[in-house]
Amino acid sequence: MREGGRAIKAALLQVHSIAGLVLALLFALIALTGAIMSFEDEIFDHLNAGIMHVAPQAAPALMPDELVARLKAAQDVGKVSAVMLSSDPSAAVRVRFGRDEQGARPTSLYVDPYDARVLGSPRGEEFFATVRRLHRWLLIPGDAKGWGRQITGVAALGLIVMLVSGLVLRWPRRAGSVKTWLKPNLSLGGRALHRSLHAIIGTWVLPIYLVMTLTGLWYSFDWYKDGVVWLLSRPEVAATKMQPKMPTKSPRAAGRSEPVQPIGFDQAWTTFQREEGGHFAKALLTLPAGPGTVIRIRSWGKETTLDTTRDEFRVDALSGQVVSAERYADKTLGERIIANVLDIHRGALLGWPGKLAFMIAAALMPLFSVTGILLYLSRRRLRRPARPPLGRLVPGE
């Protein structure tokens, strides 16, 4: 029985070592970029505090269509894709743009809601957008539709294998001793110190890494996402969310030669204000990417502290009719977990202490890459047979 256990541990050690050597650099890259984004919102707000607010005026704010029209008349801007509006009279309007013919997305602008005066482009937007693409898709062309999405997913699966195998390999004889589990021995040196740091600190961050990987897989594999939706959502909600998305067709492809009628934000914005009153803090209105007329509106309540705790509406831009309304308060526990996947992934669900803990855990990933490689090399040296000194060789050997 003891020999069988040793054989299993030896096999797990091989799996753990090979997976670590193959994926060490990828783990470090994904983790460090995630650590950089941990406090993205706070850094972004601090960098752009001077252009995010205006002096409130007695005159009413411009309707979004008039604001966009004045903005376009004042300067050459790209195609507007979304506007972020607020119930706060001192908040500036953030205007976002769609991709140009080269596939690049122009930086967004903050605009005065009363006269459409450009306040400036937000600092740090392009930097964090690049870091995000590196974290999610490794900057591989195609972004979410490219191979980067699957590669990061495979890395997440590999990390789960390493976490499970590492836990089995380091299981101590005195499993009930908290000191054995959680206190590294810093008085050691060389290989023993590397092993202590690798095992003990790995135990500290293991629950965080497990949460990161299980939620990160949501963004990599559709089969995983559909499975989670099926497991946690009500049947009617799961059936709606798991329906395959139909590709949008241009009017020409659909056999229509007439031009697409341009749509604006005003009708949807008026309907939303009528439905919500003064209960919202901010709302993001996004135009349809294809030829449709349904505008998506994401809104956040005044007491909301999480980005994912939001309501979502779809309003026809021509008739002003509400096509669908998905309120966070109406969701079940499982559906709230699904809605908060991103904030669970980065620890924001626990407030700033959770974000700090997840950031530190992510920043520690290179430690495991370095100590793991050093342990592997030291094992290789120990297994190498020692050569006898040349002076002690006898004839015939």
pLDDT digits (tens, 9 = 90+) for 52-92: 999 999 999 999 999 999 999 988 888 999 999 999 999 99
Q: Choose one of 82, 104, 122: the last residue of a domain.
A: 122
**Are residues 136 and 25 part of one domain?**
yes
Query: Rounded distance, CA 100 to CA 78, Å?
Result: 7
pLDDT at 131: 96
DSSP code at position 53: B
* Of 209, 243, 136, 173, the residue nearest 367 (C-alpha): 209
Query: Rounded distance, CA 284 to CA 281, Å?
Result: 11
**Are residues 203 and 55 part of one domain?**
no
pLDDT digits (tens, 9 = 90+) for 291-345: 889 999 999 998 888 888 999 999 999 999 999 999 999 999 999 999 999 999 9
* Of 57, 98, 58, 63, the residue nearest 78 (C-alpha): 98
Domain contains 348:
no
> Which residue type does 73 have?
A
Domain contains 232:
no
With 80 as the cut, is the pLDDT of residue 2 above it?
no
Per-residue DSSP letters for 257-324? -SPPPP--SHHHHHHHHHHHTT-EEEEEEE--SSS--EEEEEEEETT--STT--EEEEEETTT--EEE
> Which residue type does 152 have?
T
| CA triple 49-50-56, angle to 5 deg | 100
**Are residues 139 and 25 part of one domain?**
yes
**Are residues 138 and 211 part of one domain?**
yes
Query: Rounded distance, CA 169 to CA 347, Å?
Result: 27
**Please, are residues 302 and 318 in contact by the beta-carbon 8 Å criterion?**
no
Reported pTM = 0.85
Domain contains 282:
no
**Are residues 36 and 136 part of one domain?**
yes
pLDDT at 380: 81
Domain contains 104:
yes
Q: Tell me the backbone φ, ψ of residue 214, rounded to 5 degrees.
A: -65, -35
How many residues would you count in the chain?
397
Average pLDDT value over all residues in the chain: 88
**Are residues 140 and 199 part of one domain?**
yes
pLDDT digits (tens, 9 = 90+) for 346-386: 999 999 999 999 999 999 999 999 999 999 888 888 776 65
Query: Rounded distance, CA 362 to CA 358, Å?
Result: 6
Query: Rounded distance, CA 79 to CA 77, Å?
Result: 7
Domain contains 248:
no
Angle between helices 40-47 and 125-137 (to 10 degrees): 160
**Are residues 80 and 54 part of one domain?**
yes
Query: Rounded distance, CA 304 to CA 312, Å?
Result: 14
Counting beta carbons within 10 angstroms of the beta carbon of residue 113, is it exposed (0 to 12), middle (13 to 18) or buried (19 or more)? buried
Counting beta carbons within 10 angstroms of the beta carbon of residue 327, is it exposed (0 to 12), middle (13 to 18) or buried (19 or more)? exposed
**Are residues 184 and 146 part of one domain?**
yes
Domain contains 165:
yes
**Are residues 58 and 196 part of one domain?**
no
Say what the alpha-carbon torsion angle 329, 227, 160, 210 is, to the nearest 10 degrees.
Answer: 10
Considering only residues 8 and 1, tell me which one the structure prediction assigns the higher pLDDT: 8
Total domains in the chain come to 2
Return the number of other C-beta atoms located less than 10 Å from residue 28's C-beta. 18
Domain contains 107:
yes
pLDDT band of 265, cuts 50, 70, 90: very high
**Are residues 168 and 145 part of one domain?**
yes
pLDDT at 390: 56
Q: What is the largest CA-CA distance in the chain?
A: 105
With 80 as the cut, is the pLDDT of residue 257 above it?
no
**Are residues 153 and 36 part of one domain?**
yes
With 80 as the cut, is the pLDDT of residue 240 above it?
no
The domain that holds 71 is classified in CATH as: 3.10.450
Q: Choose one of 104, 122, 140: the last residue of a domain.
A: 122
Q: Choose one of 96, 122, 148: the last residue of a domain.
A: 122
Domain contains 266:
no
**Are residues 92 and 35 part of one domain?**
no
The parent domain of residue 23 ranges over 2-41+132-218+354-381
